[in-house]
């Protein structure tokens, strides 16, 4: 997103925090398609994703006052609210067994939801940097941050202690950050 887009979203979220229904409608129009795509990717059920989107926007309405532009970009906050809701739904469905997903399928889904030349460039950089990680670490990152797996679910999937998974995630994120900073 451009700085101008971020600025508009910040203004809309601030207005929503003050109870501005018109701003809420505009925020919905600007962000609902992307948030719905994230929900659909995680939940893999259109009806569940539609229901979850309503819940997400209710949470956004109720918690807009907690948004801080200094803490990060507005779309990041909106995606975080969305992802957390999807994870809550997934855990309620089947807390013990995560869905089997191939990491190649996950990356293909990420590419499907990307839009615009700038986002495609960022996606290409992310793909390049992900390919520099060891296979298990890459799978761990993708499953955790794009599919919503918890550390415990990852530990069960990979047959490793939770502490090892935490280390993999921490180290892999640091490597990704360094790689992405070098490519931009």
At 167, list the tokens. Answer: 């280390």
> What rounded mean pLDDT belongs to the chain?
83
Q: What is the pLDDT of residue 24?
A: 97
Q: What is the pLDDT of residue 97?
A: 45
Q: Average pLDDT of 136-157?
A: 85
CATH topology of domain 3-93: Rna Polymerase Sigma Factor; Chain: A (1.10.1740)
Is the pLDDT reported for residue 169 higher than 60? yes
Confidence band for 159, pLDDT divided at 50, 70 and 90: confident
Are 74 and 34 in contact, with CB atoms under 8 Å apart?
no
Instruction: Please state which of the ranges 59-63, 108-112, 163-167 shows the lowest mean pLDDT.
Output: 108-112
Strand (E) or helix (H) holding 8:
helix 3-17
Are 38 and 86 in contact, with CB atoms under 8 Å apart?
yes
CATH topology of domain 103-183: Arc Repressor Mutant, subunit A (1.10.10)
Distance, CA of 52 to CA of 48 (rounded, Å): 6
pTM of this prediction exceeds 0.85: no
Nearest Cα to Cα of residue 37 among 115, 134, 132: 115
Q: Over the stretch 21-75, which tens digit does the pLDDT of each residue have?
A: 999 999 999 999 999 998 988 888 888 899 999 999 999 999 999 999 888 889 9
Q: What is the pLDDT of residue 90?
A: 79
The residues, any chain, with a CB within 8 Å of residue 168's CB and separated by 6 or more, are: 136, 137, 140, 160
Domain ranges of the chain: 3-93, 103-183
Are 164 and 155 in contact, with CB atoms under 8 Å apart?
yes
């Amino acid at each position: 997103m451009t700085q101008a887009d971020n600025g508009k979203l910040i203004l809309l979220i601030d207005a929503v925090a003050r109870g501005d229904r018109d701003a809420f409608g505009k925020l919905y129009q600007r962000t609902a398609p992307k948030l719905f795509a994230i929900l659909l990717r995680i939940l893999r059920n259109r009806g569940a994703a539609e229901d979850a989107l309503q819940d997400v926007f209710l949470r956004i309405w109720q918690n807009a006052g907690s948004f801080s532009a200094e803490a990060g970009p507005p779309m990041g906050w909106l995606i975080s609210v969305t992802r957390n809701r999807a994870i809550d739904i997934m855990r309620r469905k089947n807390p013990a067994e995560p869905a089997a997903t191939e990491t190649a399928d996950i990356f293909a889904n990420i590419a499907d939801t990307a839009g615009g030349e700038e986002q495609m460039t960022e996606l290409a950089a992310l793909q390049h940097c992900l390919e520099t990680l060891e296979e298990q670490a890459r799978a761990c990152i993708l499953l955790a941050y794009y599919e919503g797996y918890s550390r415990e679910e990852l530990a069960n999937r990979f047959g490793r202690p939770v502490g090892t998974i935490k280390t993999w995630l921490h180290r892999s994120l640091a490597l990704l950050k360094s790689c992405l900073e070098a490519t931009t």
